[in-house]
Structure 1
Amino acid sequence: MGINRVFALVIGCVVSLVAFAVLGVGVLLFFGYVAQDDEGRISLPTAPLTTASRALVSEDVALVDSIDPQVSDRVTVSARVTSSDPAREVLIGIAPTADVRDYLRGVAHTVVTDVEFAPFRARYDTVPGNGTAASPLDQPWWSASSTGTGTTQLEWKPQGGSWTLVVMNADGSAGVDVDVSAGVRVQSLGPVAASVLAASAILLVLGVGSIVFGAAGLGKRAAPETVAESEPLDEPHALLSATEHSRYPVVLTGTRPVSLSRGLWIVKWLLAVPHYIVLLFLAAGFVVTTFVAGVAILFTGRYPRGLFHFNVGVLRWVWRVQFYSYSALGTDRYPPFTLHHADYPADLTVEYPERLSRGKVLIKWWLLAIPHYLVLSLLAGGWYAGFRLAGSGDAGPTGQPYLFGSVLGVLVLIAGITLLFTGRYPRGLFDLVLGINRWVFRVAAYAALMTDEYPPFRLDMGPDDIEVSSETPRR
């Protein structure tokens, strides 16, 4: 693989990942801007909080030790408190956590640990004590505080450190019954959100461009040696042959081993880790190039060749690793690090389509493929285990263990246990495992827009793709 193209692909994946993270921040800021009230405040719903003790306090809020002054100047945290007794004067304040703890040591108070709004529910942690709190109005350590009857509002500029919000009766007496609402106001939130979204768009364009550049180059380098994957059938003789004996355009093969190591399969998850790392980047590139190819097909009816061969190479690499590991346990030979065809007992080829339907590109990867997804969720879904919890409806008694596995997972587990004792892979079991994997990759290629030919609902078992009769040639 060309080092420049690999570098471009990796950098593109990293930049795209950063772009999506920045995009998430921008979306949150945008929704925050939309959620602002007339005062520019983003508020939580009002929470009715009550305690028979002398104070309601929040859990500790730890901020970074140093906050950029530009951030602090733009952000204002606010809290509003309304007493249930209009004549009672209440105090709301925020102070360093250490000072609040010293002040309330030995004094009964209540920590609000959690608040849910739909439906409303507050959780409290009551701290017992027999002491009497000194007048909160006389304390010098408040970072910000406000007192009054009716509705009282506190505003505070965030500072580094650990902070606690306190609500008390102004005279320090027991019994606090208030409605509390917290919010935040950010100056110029709209322009900030727009700037972040614009930055994410720029990063995304750069990342996608780098991925496409790298993938297209790698795809050209991985251009196939076989006619089936490089050119459509144009000659009359070839067309007649395809009419009489045609195969699905996705061809998956795997050679059954004569013998295998009895115990190596137990640690293949560890041995395959380098491939998993590489495939993480290749999979990200695969998603991006498939989207770009979809746009190209929508407007031109053609799948860009470089991107096509790159995506075929990624599927081929995935199949080799899965054949080696826990989708088949079909070989002990370590998979090669390449998108190309290689001398390896597992291979995958996809016939390049000269033309593709423009309309199907919008629906075949989700709507048309749904029946296959439902079947494959059972045939090749995966393993899930756990314990049923109380309140889980009709799922069974509390604490009863449950286990769900795909058919493929069960078959591969049986193959592994058989290998452990005999060192041999039963032929019938191997053929069935290959058939399920063949179905999976046919649907994967179809969903990745590589063909318009609908995958058959069948298990074509065995190491080689079977030929099926066809009354009309594929075009």
Structure 2
Amino acid sequence: MRVGRVIMLVVGVLMSLLGLALLTATAFLGWAYAFQRDNGYFTTPTEQYRTDTAALVSENIGLVVDENMPAGFGPEDLGRIMLRGTAAEPDREVFLGIARRDDVDGYLAGVAHTELGDLDFFPFQPGYRQIPGTGQPAPPGEQTFWSASASGPGTQELQWDFQEGNWTIVVMNADASPGIRVDLTAGVNLPILGPLTLWCMIGALVLLVIGVPLLVLGAVGIGRHLPPPVHAPHPAVAVVGPYPVTVRGDLDAPSRWLWLVKWLLAIPHFVVLFFLSIAHFVITVIAGFAILFTARYPRPLFDFNVGVMRWWWRVSFYTYSALGTDRYPPFTLHRTDYPADFDVDYPERLSRGLVLVKWWLLAIPHYLILTVLVTGSSTWVVSGDLDSPALYYAGSLLGILVLIAAIALLFTGRYPDGLFDLVVGINRWAYRVWAYAALMRDEYPPFRLDQGPRDRAAPEPEHPVTS
């Protein structure tokens, strides 16, 4: 395996990963920009705020302009705050204002007031901090330090462009009397969402345009150096027999205790497989388009993806999908003499139509079954107040079986044969479905547990394929 191809693959994976992240950010920012354009503001729910003091003030709002900002770009370009308030008592007039923190502190010095801290909206639970005092403030509308304010009966609305400095929002009765009952809604408008969306999209396209070809070229270079399957059928004959995905796992005398630390020992493999899995996904998408237009899965890409799945199976067999061996997995996509092996017969032609539906629609029945067999399920359960949901996880059958095997190894030093056969059978089902969803075969995976360490031997070909 050439080092240059590996470096190309790693750089391609990193750039593609960052490009996909920026693409996701583009989608989110684009949705937010469209929502803001239609609605004006992102707003909080309208809730009633109460205090027996003369003023309700926010925590400090600090804005600092970075010296590296483009010329002519200031805080006001970042966004705008909106505050809408209605006095809960019809005969009251509400005052809304925003001013520099020092001015507000001087105005309310010696006056009992309330600072609004942490806010939870689901359920609504404001955090109040009482600041004692005995003074009586002058009416807020008479003050001249407000940067923006609104006052009067009914619903009042304040709008304020971001400005550099330390600022505080103040809510009072217009006559400065104590006892505030006001329904408030806060909102923010962020003009910067448009430029951010554009720059994220440009960055994503640049990274993907460079990263994906590097990833594909690296995978092609690695795949070309992988030997073909030793049991691959001749392209001129059709094979009738077991499913053309081979999953082998030979029990190899696992020890009593090593399974306790395999999660730690396997970390280097999981790091490598993280990057390989991203490459596997991108290569599968590229291969899907190739199949759609040519009815063929490019052979180097096919061999690369099989190699990634083979690596995953070896690590899974070593760790907590089977605990079948204590022999450390090799860092390679090639076939080796390791007790676990994986292979897929290369198809000379694939259906153009099936590539559009088999990985999601046709595979749904298998996904549902494998949720029980392999992945398990989790559910959020809410009881009482909405602030304390609980997550309940239902373990998978495979996880339970491997746990039983681990306990048996710990106390008896022996892996029950029947249990091991069932564990490998469940993994075999999962890897067949994975190969089908990865567009490697058109044959629908069977709904059965072919238990045991090895697939059944394929019978001899019965008749040739006529072209």
TM-score greater than 0.5 by the shorter chain: yes
- Per-residue CA distance 1:431-455 (angstroms, 9 max, x = gap): 1111111111001000111000011
The answer on whether the counterparts of 1:147 and 1:170 sit within 8 Å (CA) in structure 2 is no
Give the equivalent residue in structure 2 for 1:33: 33
Comparing 25-34 with 179-188, which one deviates more in the overlay? 179-188
Partner of 2:79: 76
Q: Aligned Cα RMSD in Å? A: 3.6
* Whole-angstrom CA distance in 2 between matches of 1:320 and 1:98: 68
Match of 2:135 among 132, 141, 147: 132
Q: Which residue of 2 aligns with 1:374?
A: 368
Distance 1:426 1:354, change over 3 A: same
Could you tell me how far apart the structure 2 residues matched to 1:474 and 1:123 are?
74
Residue number among 210, 213, 219 corresponding to 1:215 in the alignment:
219
Residue of structure 1 in register with 2:291 after alignment? 297
Comparing 86-95 with 436-445, which one deviates more in the overlay?
A: 86-95
| Distance (Å, rounded) in 2 between the aligned partners of 1:248 and 1:391 | 51
What is the DSSP-based 3-state SS (H/G/I as helix, E as strand, rest coil) of the residue aligned with 1:221?
A: coil
Q: Could you say which residue in structure 2 is the equivalent of 1:406?
A: 396
Q: 1:445 to 1:72 in 2, by over 3 A?
A: same
Give the superposition deviation at 1:353.
0.8
State the distance in 1 between where 2:76 and 2:330 align.
Answer: 56
Distance 2:216 2:45 in 1: 50
Greater Cα shift, 40-49 or 166-175: 40-49
Deviation per CA, 1:335-378, whole angstroms, max 9, x where unpaired?
Answer: 00000111211100100111111111111111111111111111
Which runs of 5 or more residues in structure 2 are unaligned? none
CA distance in 1, matches of 2:2, 2:426: 34
Q: 1:249 aligns with which of 236, 244, 265?
A: 244
The code of the aligned residue for 1:173 comes to S
How do 1:447-462 and structure 2 match up within 5 A? 447-462=437-452
Tell me whether 1:155 sits opposite 2:148 in the alignment: no
5 Å matches for 1:40-439? 41-44=40-43, 47-53=46-52, 54-61=54-61, 66=66, 68=69, 70=73, 72-84=75-87, 88=93, 90-96=95-101, 100=105, 103=108, 107-109=112-114, 111=116, 113-114=118-119, 116=121, 122-128=124-130, 129-132=132-135, 134-135=137-138, 136=140, 144-149=147-152, 151-159=156-164, 163-187=167-191, 190=194, 192-224=196-228, 226-228=230-232, 232-234=233-235, 239=238, 242-243=239-240, 246-257=241-252, 259-382=253-376, 390-391=383-384, 404-439=394-429
Change (3 A) 1:100 1:437: farther
Instruction: Return the alpha-carbon distance in structure 2 between the equivalents of residues 374 and 52 of structure 1.
Output: 53
TM-superposed deviation, 1:106:
6.4
Superposed CA offset, 1:84-103 (max 9, x none)? 35873613114449965994
Closer/same/farther in 2, CA of residues 139 and 456 from structure 1, 3 Å limit: same
Is residue 76–residue 161 contact of structure 2 (8 Å, CA) maintained in 1? no
Question: Which digits, 9 at most, give the CA deviation of each residue in 1:217-257, with x for residues without a partner?
Answer: 221122325251xxx52356xx5xx34xx221100111122
Give per-residue Cα distances to partners, 1:136-175, cap 9 Å, x unaligned: 5687876x33243253423132436x65422223443223
Report the counterpart of residue 19 of structure 1 in structure 2. 19
Aligned equivalents of 2:275, 2:376: Cα separation in 1: 22
CA distance in 2: counterparts of 1:44 and 1:103, whole angstroms: 28
Relative to structure 1, is the Cα distance of residues 139 and 148 closer, same or farther in structure 2, using a 3 angstrom cutoff?
Answer: closer
For these two proteins, the number of residue pairs brought into alignment is 454
3-state SS of the aligned residue for 2:119?
A: strand
Q: Report the 3-state secondary structure (helix = DSSP H, G, I; strand = E; otherwise coil) of the residue aligned with 1:380.
A: helix
Q: CA deviation at 1:43?
A: 3.9
Name the CA distance, whole Å, in 2 between partners of 1:473 and 1:437. Answer: 31
Whether the 8 Å contact between 1:75 and 1:184 is mirrored in structure 2 is: no
Q: Distance in 2 between matches of 1:470 and 1:163?
A: 82
Contact 2:78 2:192 in 1 (8 A): no
8 Å contact from structure 1 (residues 79, 180) kept in 2: no
Which secondary structure state, in structure 1, belongs to the residue aligned with residue 419 of structure 2? Answer: helix
Task: Report if aligned partners of 2:246, 2:342 keep a CA contact under 8 Å in 1.
Answer: yes
Amino acid at match of 2:383: A
1:432–1:227 Cα change, 3 Å: closer
- Distance in 2, matches of 1:34 and 1:56, equals 33
Letter in 2 for 1:234: P
Determine if contact 1:12/1:207 at 8 Å carries over to the other structure: yes
Q: 1:90 to 1:472 in 2, by over 3 A?
A: farther
Partner Cα distance (2:10, 2:187) in 1 = 41
**In structure 2, what residue type is equivalent to 1:156?**
D
- 2:41 is paired with a residue of what secondary structure? strand
Indicate conservation of the 8 Å contact 1:439/1:459, yes or no.
Answer: yes
User: Do the aligned partners of 1:76 and 1:185 also contact (CA within 8 Å) in 2?
Assistant: yes
User: Percentage identity across aligned positions?
Assistant: 45
| Contact 1:301/1:357 (<8 A) preserved | yes
Larger displacement relative to structure 2 (195-204 or 430-439)? 195-204
The verdict on how the C-alpha distance between 1:293 and 1:59 changes in structure 2, with shifts beyond 3 A counting, is farther
For 1:75 and 1:25, the matched residues in 2 are separated by 18
Which one-letter code corresponds to 2:339 in the other structure? Answer: P
Distance in 2, matches of 1:28 and 1:399, equals 26
The aligned residue for residue 7 of structure 1 is 7
